[in-house]
Amino acid sequence: MRASLTRRDLLGSGVMLALAAPVSLPAVLQGNLPGPLQALLPQDARGALDLVAELLKLEQEAKLRRLPASKLSFGEGSIPADPARLYELAMPRLVALVDRAEKVSPAFADKAGSLLARLHRTQYEAPDGWFSDQLQQTAPGIDEFRFYRPPRVATPLLPGEGDDELVLKGKIDLPQPSLPEAEQLLPPVSRSIRFDELASEYAAWFAAATLRPEQQKSADWHVAMMRQSKERYQAVGKVVGVPWPFIAAIHGLEASFNFRAHLHNGDHPLSQRTRQVPPGRPKVWLPPSDWAASALDALRLLGFAGQSDWSLPRMLHRLEAYNGFGYRKGGRSSPYLWSFRTCSPAANSLPTGALTPRPSRSNAARQ
């Protein structure tokens, strides 16, 4: 081993394999690494290593318990403890563990859901929808939640500012890459935020969007997750008049598909009110304190309940407004909608309503 290792060396090499090779597997799984080795690991890498170790232990426990298989299984065996890819690789495996245990072992499902919530917090940033005045206009009677913050604005990198730590934590958005020729033929990104001025842009971009081949497996998993949970989303949607694909998209983006956590922000456990923004939700929270009841509170709080227009352009506009128009105001497309896509005249490969998934907030600007 060299006398000194840079952060890029550690994050790019898969630290669990590159650094833990001389250490016994039990020591890795228990987090008992030698002090000098721990000191070499950046904080992000140590956290990733700990989370990977807990995930592998849960998967081993699920095997010993002989939990039923899940159609959502995604990968197996070792996983690189790389903070830049950890969410993308670990989230589906934790969702599958919850799915395997939810009906036969609720306590184990809660353990997996708790770890999934921890993973979610490494990527989560509360949408602007929780902070805007629109919250008051669409959901009267909740004055205690009049949050405000400036709109999220995408800040380009300045010369020499390429620190991985800032990018991983989502504090810097990478500049928009040059558009491929096919994409240049599409309507440019408007700086307006009015739906009537954006509807045709949403329709054109969605019609031309295709997934990048290297992201097909991940996108297929997201669609499978949405379809498998369709009945749960539909049951909630029928109460408030919200289409199930929209609820599924919110669930994936804002709670990492965690049915053991609140839809508002992914907070775990459901037996307690939310702690992150918006805190203290649902305001009245008595048993059964289940996911569906919490989801209804979130959808009502944001003013989605009772809306009449759920066309595809309107859903895309609501999603972008929920996350914030900072990218658009900077003349750039929002990764909240268009991550993992290229644009060409080919038809979209996803079914209508299954919006292009984004596996990670911190990684989104790179796609």
Nearest to 249 by CA among 294, 203, 316: 316
pLDDT of residue 140: 44
Do 313 and 279 belong to one domain? yes
**CA gap 180, 342 in Å, rounded:** 8
In this predicted model, what pLDDT tens digit does every residue of 203-258 receive, in sequence order?
999 988 888 888 899 999 999 999 999 999 999 999 999 999 999 999 999 999 99
Question: Could you say which of 91, 121, 151 is where a domain stops?
Answer: 121
Do 289 and 268 belong to one domain? yes
Assess whether pLDDT exceeds 60 at residue 5.
Answer: no
Do 251 and 149 belong to one domain? yes
Average pLDDT, the chain: 75
Q: How many domains does the chain have?
A: 2
Question: Where is pLDDT greater, at 305 or 181?
Answer: 305
Would you say residue 345 lies in a domain? yes
pLDDT of residue 357: 36
Question: Where is pLDDT greater, at 145 or 263?
Answer: 263
Do 110 and 150 belong to one domain? no
Do 141 and 272 belong to one domain? yes
Strand, helix or coil for residue 209: strand
pLDDT of residue 149: 54
Question: Could you say which of 78, 103, 121 is where a domain stops?
Answer: 121
Would you say residue 2 lies in a domain? no
Q: Residue 27's domain spans which residues? A: 7-121
pLDDT of residue 23: 38
Which whole-number Å values give the CA distances from 76 to 52, 63, 89, 90, in the listed order?
12, 12, 10, 10
Do 59 and 184 belong to one domain? no
Would you say residue 1 lies in a domain? no
**CA gap 76, 248 in Å, rounded:** 25
pLDDT exceeding 90 applies to what percent of the chain?
Answer: 47
Do 69 and 31 belong to one domain? yes
Supply the DSSP string of 75-131, one letter for each residue: --S-----TTTHHHHHHHHHHHHHHHHTTT-HHHHHHHHHHHHHHHHTT----GGGT
**CA gap 269, 355 in Å, rounded:** 27
Query: Model pTM greater than 0.85?
Result: no
pLDDT of residue 263: 97
Question: Could you say which of 121, 154, 175 is where a domain stops?
Answer: 121
pLDDT of residue 119: 93
Do 339 and 196 belong to one domain? yes
pLDDT of residue 354: 37
Would you say residue 206 lies in a domain? yes
In this predicted model, what pLDDT tens digit does every residue of 113-149 receive, in sequence order?
999 999 999 888 889 888 865 554 444 444 444 455 5
Assess whether pLDDT exceeds 50 at residue 62.
Answer: yes
Task: List, in sequence order, every residue forming a beta bridge with 209; answer none if it has no partner.
Answer: 343
Do 143 and 39 belong to one domain? no
Do 151 and 227 belong to one domain? yes
